[in-house]
Structure formats: structure tokens, C-alpha cells
Amino acid sequence: MKKFWIVMLALGLVAGFALSASAADVKFSGSYYVAGIYADKPSMNADQNKTTGEAGPQAFYFQRLRVQTEFKVAEGLNLVTRFDALERRWGDNRWMGTGDTYNRLANGAAQVQENIEFERAYLDFTTKIGRFQAGYLNFVSWGTEFHDSNLTRAGIKYFVPIGPFTLIAAIEKPQGGDSNVGTNNGTASDADNQVYDIGAIYKYSKGDAGIIYQKGINKTTRPTANRYSDLNIFIPYAKAKFGNFYVEGEGIVGFGDLRKFDDQGKAAGGQDITASQYALYLHGKGDFGPAYAGLKFVYISGDDPSTSDKVEGGLMTPLLSGDAFNPCLLMWNDQYTKWVGNIQTTASARGVNLFTGTAGGMSTYMDNAYFYQIYGGFKPTPKLDIFASASYAYAAQKPRDTVNGLIFDSDVYGTEIDLKATYKIFDNLEYMIGGAYMITGDYFKGTNKNFNKADNYLLMHELTLTF
């Protein structure tokens, strides 16, 4: 009798799963990569093995599995989820249970993940009045890859197609909370961080163009510091293809109050700080049979350290903007900074993060920079792509070291040469082997002229499956 009930229960479970599966079409997509990397001088210090706290050469393997699932519940109605699994260095068995913010960012350092981390879950449905997305989804994705990020935030998106135009409106909720501490009248007050978006895209025969306006109001600091921020940003872009040539560009114009104190905050000595941010990205590429070549230019304003009541740039880092833009294998590369760490300026006299005033150097987010790149490639067969690039970068503003109050002696980040070859083993499986050499600029000396800086190089290979 016991065996009979076990068999019946098993048959019931099978039937239940079959009924659930038939209620919705399920589509899986995602990626898996495993990579090995060697970084020779991550600290940019020729004496790194003699200096306390300086990282030596780094050599390790790392991996990530990413799976996105789309449940088609009805025509025009979908539930989308995404998770990452086993995102870690091989052999690293530390457990990280705290510290995750904004989609696994941990101050640019390599991190050890839980076994599975769900990042996205949202509804995507189309009605007679437009298309909606609601839940945890990617918001910082617009125009070209320059401003794009991999961040996941809670919120709602709304799309309305009107002929060649698509109108977009959204509300983002990076952080929520209410408090009755530290307010003027002692009653409960809004302490949320919210972003409001409105924009439009125009599609034409050669490409597309658009502009979006974002307003970010962050009141999470009101309860403890009696201040908030109110920032505005306009992001226009354009893409076009003319025969064998492709061009794209994107701009950023930002302004507002970075720190706005209420009466209590001002009474405690708080000083209002206004903010502005300007950026321009241009990219042109030409295809010539099996060969191709292109140019990239980026300008991002930096903060003038002589103005205490204004921040004229350097906001890309605190706004977590642009981690999907990886123009090099070393400089401003999300994968490098995530697993190896920031391109270092750890010594107090060598460098500081422009916004936070803490050691950090060059992180994932391109900021305070003039950047020039020329690149080219050759595809001797449809499966093989050989790529090379040369990049040069310097700071738009020399920062001030917050420890000793001195301005950096140099604005030159350096020159980087990248080489890589990618081969498609299958249509969905490719193998990449590459290397980069960075001629370190004197920016990384900071205010210490005697710092013995060193060039850095990396070697890496990566196996990537997409499905």
C-alpha cells in the first residue's frame, strides 16, 4: 500500500508540472563564461613587493553563469526573471552574505557571490495604450553603450509608439525609506531616492536618434544629515549607417543641487553644493571587406578642486554610470576592476577618488577624462577576428589629494595597447585570448614625485557560451 501511494504521489507531481508547463511558454537565454587572467603590476608600483599593503601580481580563474527566463503567460503578457550563479574565482570558498548594493558592486573589488542571486523579476505587457514593464529591471540603458550600465533597479517603464517615434516615461526607485528623525517639524518625511525619466526615440532609414531627461531626487540623507540632492540630466544620442561606415554619438548635460541643506543642516554648518556634468562620446567605424577600423573619442568633465561650493564633474562614478562601456582591457574595464580591483592609487599622496575623497584611482566608470582610441581588426575567416587598439587618456581636471591638500602634478593617465583574437568554436561558443600593456602616466604618482611607478600588463583568455 505504501508503494502504491508513493507511485500515485509521483504521478501527481508529474501531472502537476506538466499542467504548469502548459500554462505558459518558457524561453531561456543567457551566458556562461570562464576566464583566466594574469595582471603583473595592479598597484602601478615598481616596488609593490616591498611596500606594505600593495598588491602583487594577480593570477587566477573566474566564472559566471547568467540565466534569463521569459514566461509567456498570454499574448502580450510576459514575466521575465534573471539570476547569476557561481560568480566567483575558482577555489575561493569565502562566503559573502552582506555588502551587496546596486547589482553586486562592492567598491570595484572582486567579490565572492552566494551560489545563486536573483537580480531581475518584472512584468512586461502590452496594452492598447502602450507597453509597460514593472518590477526589478535594467534602467540605465539608453542610446549607445557609452552611458549604459548593468544596474538593476525597481521601477516602472512605459513605452508608446507613435509612427516613427517611441515615447518613453519611467520612474526608478534605487532606494526607499521614510523617517521622522532630523526633520524640521519632527514628523514623518519622505526619505526616498527616486529618478523620473521622460524621453523619445526617432527611427529613420539610416538609424535612430533620441533624447531622455532624467530627474533624480535623493532624500535618503535628510534624516541624518539634513540635506538632499536634486539633479537633472539630459542625454541625447544619434546612430547612423552610411554604406560601409557607421557613426554614433552621445552627450550628457547635467546640473542641479548635489547637496541642499535644510535650515537645521545650515545651522549645523552645512554648505550647499551645486553640480554640473558634461560629457561627449563620438565613435566612427568603417568596414573594408574582411578588415575594419575605427576611432573613439570621449570627454567627461572633472571637478575643479579650487571651488568648494561647486562640483563641475566627476559624477559618473557616484551615479554608477557606464559600467557596460569597456573601451580597453585595462583602463575603465568592468571585468578587470571587478576581479582584479581598481587601477590603484592606494597611497594617500598618490591619488583620490574625485567625488568621495577616498583612495580608488581608475575604477569601472570612465570619469574626468579625455580619451582617444584608434582600433582595427581583420577577419581572415568568418570564425576568427583579430583586433588591436591604441588608447591615450588624460584627466580633464587634476584632482586635489584630500590628505595633504596638494594638486596632482600630472594629468596623464597613460597609454594602453590591446591585442586580442577571438575564435568561434561553435556559433554560440567563442574563445578569446588577449593581452594589454599600459604605459602608466604620471597621474598615478599623485603628489609624490618620488613614487616609483611601473607599467602594468595583463594576459587573459576567456571561453564564452551564449544561448
Distance, in Å, from the CA atom of 189 to the CA atom of 39, rounded to the nearest integer, reads: 49
Instruction: Say if strands 165-175 and 273-288 run parallel, antiparallel, or are unpaired.
Output: unpaired
Least confident of 313-317, 323-327, 373-377, 427-431: 313-317
Q: Would the pLDDT of 263 be above 80?
A: no
Residue 462 pLDDT > 90, yes or no?
Answer: yes
Q: What's the pLDDT band for 2 if we cut at 50, 70, 90?
A: very low
For residue range 236-254, list pLDDT tens digits in order: 999 999 999 999 999 999 9
State the Cα–Cα distance between residues 265 and 333, nearest whole angstrom. Answer: 39
Per-residue confidence (pLDDT) for residue 23, from 0 to 100: 54
Residue 342 pLDDT exceeds 90: no
Read off the pLDDT of residues 349-400 as tens digits, 9 standing for 90 and up. 444 333 333 334 678 889 999 999 999 999 999 999 999 999 999 999 988 8
The mean pLDDT value of the chain amounts to 84
The whole-number pLDDT of residue 402 equals 67
Mean pLDDT of 276-300: 97
pLDDT at residue 361, rounded to an integer: 64
Amino acid in the structure at residue 324: A
What's the whole-model pTM score? 0.85
- pLDDT tens for 123-154 read 999 999 999 999 999 988 899 999 898 889 99
Mean pLDDT check: name the lowest of 22-26, 79-83, 263-267: 22-26
pLDDT of residue 141: 87
* Residue at grid coordinates 590591446: 418
Q: What pLDDT sits at residue 105?
A: 42
The candidate with the shortest Cα–Cα distance to 124, out of 102, 151, 156, 146, is 156
pLDDT of res. 423: 98
Q: Which residue has the higher pLDDT, 265 or 316?
A: 316
Q: How confident is the model at residue 12 (pLDDT cuts 50, 70, 90)?
A: very low
Could you tell me the domains of the chain?
Answer: 27-466 (2.40.160.100)
HEC string of the chain equals CHHHHHHHHHHHHHHHHHHHHHCCEEEEEEEEEEEEEEECCCCCECCCCCCCCCCCCEEEEEEEEEEEEEEEEECCEEEEEEEEEEEEECCCCCCCCCCCECCCECCCCCCCCCCEEEEEEEEEEEECCEEEEEEEEECCCCCCCCCCCCCEEEEEEEEEEECCEEEEEEEEEEECCEECCCCCCCCCEECCEEEEEEEEEEEECCEEEEEEEEEEEECCCHHHHCEEEEEEEEEEEEEEEECCEEEEEEEEEEEEEEEEECHHHHHCCCCCEEEEEEEEEEEEEEEECCEEEEEEEEEECCCCCCCCCEECCCCCCCCCCCCCCCCCCCCCCHHHHHHCCCECCCCCCCCCCCCCCCCCCECCCCCCEEEEEEEEEEEEECCEEEEEEEEEEECCCCCECCCCCCECCCCEEEEEEEEEEEEEEECCEEEEEEEEEEEECHHHHCCCCCCCECCEEEEEEEEEEEC
Predicted local distance difference test score (pLDDT) of residue 132? 98
* Lowest-confidence region among 53-62, 213-222, 432-441: 53-62
